[in-house]
Structure 1
Amino acid sequence: MAKTHILGYPRIGARRELKRALESYWRGELSSSQLYEVGAAVRRDNWRAQEQAGLEFVTVGDFAWYDQVLNHSLMFGVVPQRFTRGAADTKLDQYFRLARGRAPAGEPVAASAMTKWFDTNYHYLVPEFDATQEFTLDSEWLLAEVAEARAQGFPPKPVLIGPLTYLWLGRSGADRLGLLPRLLPLYRELLQQLAEAGVEWVQIDEPILGLDLEERWRQAFAASYEQLRTDAGPQLLLATYFSPLRENLPLAFSLPVQGVHIDAVRAPGEIDLAVAARSQGQVLSLGVVNGRNVWRTELAGWQQRLEPLERELGDALWLSASCSLLHCPVDLETEADLPAEQRQRLAYSRQKLEELQTLQAALASGQLLPGDGKSESPDTHGDTGVLAELRDSWRPQSYAERAPLQQQRLQLPVLPTTTIGSFPQTGLLRQVRRQFRTGEISEQEYRQHLRAEIAEAVRRQEILGLDVLVHGEAERNDMVEYFGEQLDGFIHTGNGWVQSYGSRCVKPPIIAGDIRRPQPMTVEWSRYAQGLTKKPVKGMLTGPVTILNWSFPREDIPRSASCLQIARALRDEVLDLEAAGIGIIQIDEPALREGVPLRESDHGAYFDWAVGCFRYTCSAVRPETQVHTHMCYSNFNTIMDAIVALDADVITIESARSDLRLLEAFASGDGGYPNEIGPGIYDIHSPNVPERAELVARLRKLVEVIPAKKLWVNPDCGLKTREWAEVGTSLLNMVEAAREVRTALEIVDIA
């Protein structure tokens, strides 16, 4: 009989218990022992859910206080030199210093760099290697979790990030692959420790096998896994996900591993190839339940597809979710207010376990499951009609023609200062929002509160001396969820939380139908804020590609079609903002990069419609209206052509945690960004307040590579998650730093 398992489970808790505990610990309200108790309870609940669903093993090692990649960095002794100074006394606080730059104990320090985990909205902490990197093994936490699961009666299957993927995820001044001979012995030692702990199977994740790898990386797999082979060690399940394996499929199955997992949702056409490639007795694990969406699986179709495979493979066939369920909400049972007709169409992580159990039982009994009539996802993007509508819908004037008209209208100084959009969401504001949703206060009272918050945000910005203001987004719970609530065609949940990074969770809306804008969404608040000041106030919108990529999409039409529907709605909003007198409109696209297919050969089709949809939203504005966009941590070098094609007048990017390394792609010259740019000069994901001298030094470095007339000064990202006390000091230091450098530039010009 086919067996069932999963690659990983959400770690935030069914009601975000871990998030709340972490933030309480960071504020000094919770002791470390109390935090450990919350973590243990989350793990116990996760393992119990897997056991109750009849899974062969429970997955161990997928829990993390902040990030699973950081877990591995500490396990293998990858701690940059700056973290050894003023270190915390405990491993836990040292862990948080690496993650956040600050912990309850230990000196503040620049936090680890952060970027997106493949093509998801999850952020991992980038390992930092150097040429002299020495690895050490400290597996106490993983062995403790194995023992913890065993003590509770759960059979553990530990999960590790494979050695090649771990090195590939990092950054180094030297050759990362050259570090492999130093790292492999520690992986081998770790596997021996797990064998001694009685572990039967270890899942070892190598998702880079779904990428276009350089030949030397491909060649490193065989020798590496040969070195990890031990007669007495645990059996290895090599896990791949997020992408078809293509030319790497024979390689994956040729390795000396006892099983291979493939993502059958992303690559259903590779199932037969995998069956043919597997060695005698080798386990084939198929990810048949979508680990990255919330729609119920069409189990009847999978039953029909898998029955001949089960007859051929027997218990060498394992069924799983396509990837870790980290990317899905936890439990649909927590959605008490969701209408029944919507609930019956959805499956969160807990329900996906039940789907695996149902499918396993149906295959064993031969009793046919009823079909739900849902059509399969399109095999191709089906973009022909979308591209036809987008063609020739660009702004008719070039940036060179628009820029002087915008400067004449806005009258901004050199190195204009601004923020990315959101300001702190205070406890009072969250309370007022809850009271409005529960009916404790009227809509009129709620709007009065929002106006007061906006007026206060404008007042603070004027006192700080910022040049371009924002209204602060007090009315928004989330940059995507808010628009999902304003547009037709979305399902809105109460507890559909997914981890983005650390304790930061987002609640993606669900695209369930055709998308339309019934009425203006942001115009009232932007108009009100602009009426409070003579300085320009940016209108703030989330772009069509980001709304799509940060929502759970439909599976019955191409993603490009949904994106165009969103773009049509936003285009109307842009024109209404312009008509209301808003001279700067920011259309954020932080998720443009993560929607890019992992294979380069698929990039062109994606960018054709993604870039086209962005440009469509602002295609009809006047040339004197300045269009901004914003992008988050990502590998920009590989998509620079697409970013340039967006043709935004100003782009702001997160770059501070990379020590401005990400800026290299945007620097002036051939292939750089030709318009205006605002690299984030301080990290908003850390509570550390930047010193003025530090910001001056960064700005001076920036004006060496970007013309001052094209350079904006801003933080890394929105300030929603920060506190006003730190925000005020940080922005004041930023404004003063910009003035100092601006004055120096003026003196040079005069001379």
Structure 2
Amino acid sequence: MKTNILKALLPTSTAGSLPKPAWLAQPETLWSPWKLQGDELIAGKHDALRLSLQDQQQAGLDIVSDGEQTRQHFVTTFLEHLNGVDFEQRKTVKIRDRYEASVPTVVGPVSRQKPVFVDDAKFLRQQTKQTIKWALPGPMTMVDTLYDDHYKSREKLAWEFAKILNEEAKELEAAGVDIIQFDEPAFNVFFDEVNDWGIACLERAIEGLKCETAVHICYGYGIKANTDWKNTLGSEWRQYEQAFPKLQKSNIDIISLECHNSRVPMELLELIRGKKVMVGAIDVASNTIETPEEVAKTLREALKYVDADKLYPSTNCGMAPLSQQVARGKLNALTAGAAIVRRELATSN
């Protein structure tokens, strides 16, 4: 199926995950185990993907995704398919320097025997002519979501992951994916590493791609560990200031970030002037559904620092921990808010 070229002003999308149906996995829960097995699980994931796509289309999103229906977690599902990562040998580590989780161990050289998400991406491509986006975990965030007992170096392991991600990304592009997004919440935490090797590893992951590329950097899902951490960050969240100057010079096309109901000073967007910016205008840490006017207000503020043809309204982060009803309401608010600002831009020209 050939895709439509994205021509809409302020094209809308989600940052990543959407809630899974209750018959597939426990709702409103991260790392929720599958309720199906074998062929039933494969069919169930595809059914969930179709329903997720339908929700996005009914809300009027311009850029659609799989809603991450085919994966249990945005990092560990990719890790499960790699050689050198042992899920039986688990360790408790501190993730993103703020909460503990039981994670797999790197026990030998990491490699990818076969594509991880390509069949799912092909399935999504068959369902729609719209622009499709696919998310992969970024190298630094992958390193931060396991225990390394082999390389004993975060940087060395990140470079290995970058090569593997590049292989996967090239096959996703060949499967018809228009935008490949790398999720790097770790970029808001490990600032020295981001600038020393994190962005360089990201550039290795996108090497040779002709499709659009994005990096998603947020303050995390709306789970207690993340909201507790945010409460310690003071009146201004300036973490983006550390990575933006180098990202502005990078080959990444789109930078996806958190804005609505956050304490991120909007003027920080000036540091990435010239890049396309996926502006988070929907709070994923609250069950309150935004009004279209609240979304429009966030977008108007962003337009002071981002050219209109480069602004992509989105959600702050994934919505897996929310109920389907709340997520649908938030998607509708996003598209309605973007429509308000589109009309304003049309009348002002």
Structure 1: distance between partners of 2:178 and 2:282: 26
Q: Normalization by structure 1: what TM-score?
A: 0.41
| Bigger share in strand | 2
Residue 267 of structure 2, aligned match among 654, 664, 667? 664
* C-alpha contact (below 8 Å) 2:108/2:150 kept by paired residues: no
Structure 1: distance between partners of 2:208 and 2:4: 18
Alpha-carbon offset, residue 658 of structure 1: 2.3
In structure 2, the CA distance between the partners of 1:718 and 1:675, relative to structure 1 (3 Å rule), is same
Matched with 1:690 is 290
Structure showing greater Rg: 1
Matched with 2:229 is none
Alpha-carbon offset, residue 572 of structure 1: 0.6
Matched with 2:338 is 738
Matched with 1:678 is 278
Determine helix, strand or coil for the equivalent of 2:312: coil
Please tell me the root mean square deviation across aligned C-alpha atoms, in Å.
Answer: 2.5
Residue 309 of structure 2, aligned match among 709, 713, 725? 709
Alpha-carbon offset, residue 660 of structure 1: 4.4
Alpha-carbon offset, residue 499 of structure 1: 7.7
Consecutive unaligned residues of structure 1, counting only runs of 5 or more, are 1-407, 598-602
Matched with 2:197 is 609
Residues 257-307 of structure 1 deviation map (CA, whole Å, 9 limit, x = unaligned): xxxxxxxxxxxxxxxxxxxxxxxxxxxxxxxxxxxxxxxxxxxxxxxxxxx
Matched with 1:429 is 24
Structure 2: distance between partners of 1:416 and 1:644: 21
Residues 586-621 of structure 1 deviation map (CA, whole Å, 9 limit, x = unaligned): 112121232334xxxxx6xx6343222111111111
- Letter matched to residue 571 of structure 1: N
Matched with 1:524 is 119
Determine helix, strand or coil for the equivalent of 1:531: helix
* C-alpha contact (below 8 Å) 2:282/2:315 kept by paired residues: yes
* C-alpha contact (below 8 Å) 1:480/1:551 kept by paired residues: no
In structure 2, the CA distance between the partners of 1:612 and 1:558, relative to structure 1 (3 Å rule), is same
Determine helix, strand or coil for the equivalent of 1:423: coil
Matched with 1:76 is none
Alpha-carbon offset, residue 474 of structure 1: 1.3
| Bigger share in helix | 1
Structure 2: distance between partners of 1:551 and 1:679: 29
Alignment of 1:105-254 (within 5 A): none
Residues 479-516 of structure 1 deviation map (CA, whole Å, 9 limit, x = unaligned): 11111111111122598677879xx9754332222110
* C-alpha contact (below 8 Å) 2:11/2:63 kept by paired residues: yes
- Letter matched to residue 468 of structure 1: I
* C-alpha contact (below 8 Å) 1:541/1:588 kept by paired residues: yes
Consecutive unaligned residues of structure 2, counting only runs of 5 or more, are 27-31, 220-236
Pairing 1:627–2:213 present: yes
Structure 2: distance between partners of 1:611 and 1:554: 24
* C-alpha contact (below 8 Å) 1:470/1:539 kept by paired residues: yes
Residue 323 of structure 2, aligned match among 723, 733, 737? 723
In structure 2, the CA distance between the partners of 1:493 and 1:664, relative to structure 1 (3 Å rule), is farther
* C-alpha contact (below 8 Å) 1:425/1:721 kept by paired residues: no
* C-alpha contact (below 8 Å) 1:481/1:507 kept by paired residues: no
- Letter matched to residue 651 of structure 1: I
Determine helix, strand or coil for the equivalent of 1:513: strand
Structure 2: distance between partners of 1:428 and 1:505: 28
Pairing 1:451–2:39 present: no
Determine helix, strand or coil for the equivalent of 2:131: coil
Identity of aligned residues (%): 24
In structure 2, the CA distance between the partners of 1:691 and 1:500, relative to structure 1 (3 Å rule), is farther
- Letter matched to residue 637 of structure 1: E
Structure 2: distance between partners of 1:495 and 1:425: 26
* C-alpha contact (below 8 Å) 2:273/2:306 kept by paired residues: no
Whose relative contact order is higher, 1 or 2, with alpha carbons under 8 Å and at least 6 apart? 2
Alpha-carbon offset, residue 555 of structure 1: 6.3
Structure 2: distance between partners of 1:729 and 1:676: 26
Alpha-carbon offset, residue 434 of structure 1: 3.8
* C-alpha contact (below 8 Å) 2:292/2:334 kept by paired residues: yes
Determine helix, strand or coil for the equivalent of 1:629: strand
Structure 1: distance between partners of 2:310 and 2:87: 40
Residue 650 of structure 1, aligned match among 250, 254, 275? 254
Structure 1: distance between partners of 2:183 and 2:143: 12
Determine helix, strand or coil for the equivalent of 1:514: strand
Structure 2: distance between partners of 1:410 and 1:590: 29
- Letter matched to residue 189 of structure 2: E
Determine helix, strand or coil for the equivalent of 2:55: helix
Alignment of 1:499-538 (within 5 A): 506-538=101-133
Matched with 1:465 is 60
* C-alpha contact (below 8 Å) 1:415/1:711 kept by paired residues: yes
